[in-house]
Amino acid sequence: MRNITIAAAVGFAAIAATSAATAGTVLDAVKARGALICGVGTGTAGFMLADSQGKWVGLDVDVCRAVASAIFGDAEKVKFVPLSSQQRFTALQSGEVDMLSNNTTDTLTRDTALGLDFTAVTYYDGQGFLVNKKLGVKSAKELNGATVCVAPGTTTELNLADYFRANKMTFKPVVIEKVDEVRAAFFSGRCDVYTNDSSSLYATRTANVPPPAKPEDFIVLPEIISKEPLAPAVRHGDNQFADIVRWSQYAMIEAEEYGITSKNVDEMMKSDNPTIKRILGVTPGMGKALGVDEKWVYNIVKQVGNYGESFDRNVGMGSPLKIERGLNNLWTKGGLQYAPPIR
Ligand SMILES: N[C@@H](CCC(=O)N[C@@H](CS)C(=O)NCC(=O)O)C(=O)O
C-alpha cells in the first residue's frame, strides 16, 4: 500500500534504473556520443518550444544549451527529446535522456523514491488556475463544483485535490496526458478551469488561445496554491554530471550578478576584478575542478547569455509572455536567485 501511494505521488514511473543508464559516467557517454540528450516538454512558449525551423528555444532549453557549452564549448551539441509529464521520469531513469529540463518540480519523493537529483532552481513557480472570463469567477474560492483540466503524474494533480479538500469544495477532474490536448479541452469548454504552474498558464494564454477568442478573454485567478521550484533533474549516482549541470546554472546567475553578458563577455576577459577573472577562467582552476574546459563560463555566457538575458528573451519583458522577474530576480534585487561563489 505504501509503495502504491509513493508511486502514485510520483506518477507511476518505474523506480529501477537500467544498467545502460548506470554503466560508465554520464559525462563520458555524452562526450563519446558528441551530444547531450536533454528531456524537455512537448511545447510551452517561452520555456521549451521547437520553432518553425525545428530549433528548440526557451528558458529550460537554455539550461540544456548551457550544459552543452560547458561540456563541448558548443551550445548546439544537444539533442532535445520532448516528453509528456507521464513519460519524463521513466525516460531519465532508463537512460533515454541524460537530464530533464522541463518544468519539473523538485519534491521529496521524486528525489528519493524516484532516484533523481535536482540541481538548481531554474524558475520559482506556483500553481494557478486559468478561467474564461465568461465564467464570472474572480477567486479560486468560487470554484466549488467546477470541472478542472489537469495533466496526470504531476504535482498539479495532487495540489488540486489538496486545495479543494482544504477549502471544503468539490471538483470534477478531466485528466489528459498531452499538454496540447489539455489546452484544446479547456478552450473548447470541456473544462471550466485549466490548472498548471502559473508560468505555463501565462504561456498558454499568450500563445495558445484559438482565434477568434483572445488572450484577454481569459484570466489567471489570483490564488497561487503551491510552491513549484522548477529544476533540472539527473539520475542519482553520478555526482560529477550533477555538478556540471548545477554549476552551469549557477554560472548563468553569477554572470548576471557580476554584469557579464553575451555582449560584453570579451571585454570582461580583460577585467582586473579577481572574481570575474576566476569566473571566466582567466585565472584557471574552476574548469579543472569541474572536469570541463577553463572557458566553460565564457562559452555559456557568450553562446547562451547570463540568466537575466535568458529570462528576458524567453519569458520576460523582451518576450511575448512579459513575466515579471519577481521571485526569479537575483537575491541582490529582492529575488531568490542566488548562486554560491565560483571559487
Ligand atoms: N511542475 C509540475 C507540472 C509540470 C508539467 O510538466 N506539466 C505539464 C502538464 S500539461 C506541462 O505543462 N507540460 C508542458 C509541455 O509538455 O510543454 C510537475 O513537475 O509535476
41 lines ligand 1 (CB under 6 A): yes
Report CA(85)–ligand 1 centroid distance (Å). 5
**What is the pLDDT at residue 109?**
97
**Entry pTM:** 0.93
Pocket test for ligand 1, best of 108, 197, 315 (most atoms within 8 A of CB): 197
Superfamily name and number for 127-226: Periplasmic binding protein-like II (3.40.190.10)
Domain ranges for the chain, please list them: 2-124+230-239, 127-226, 250-332
The string of pLDDT tens digits covering residues 14-64 is 444 444 444 579 999 999 999 999 999 999 999 999 998 999 999 999 999
**What is the pLDDT at residue 196?**
98
The string of pLDDT tens digits covering residues 140-157 is 999 999 999 999 999 999
Mean pLDDT across 253-281: 98
Residue bearing the CA closest to ligand 1, atom 20: 154
Report CA(24)–ligand 1 centroid distance (Å). 31
| Packing angle of the helix pair 307-314, 239-257 (nearest 10 deg) | 80
Residue bearing the CA closest to ligand 1, atom 7: 85
CB within 8 Å of 225: residues ≥ 6 apart: 126, 127, 128, 140, 159, 163
The string of pLDDT tens digits covering residues 295-313 is 999 999 999 999 999 999 9
One fold for 2-124+230-239 and 127-226 = yes
Question: In 102-186, which ranges are E strands?
Answer: 116-118, 123-125, 127-132, 146-150, 171-175
What CATH architecture is 2-124+230-239? Answer: 3-Layer(aba) Sandwich (3.40)
**What is the pLDDT at residue 23?**
56
Mean pLDDT across 276-287: 98
Report CA(32)–ligand 1 centroid distance (Å). 31
pLDDT of residue 2 exceeding 70, the answer is no
pLDDT of residue 326 exceeding 50, the answer is yes
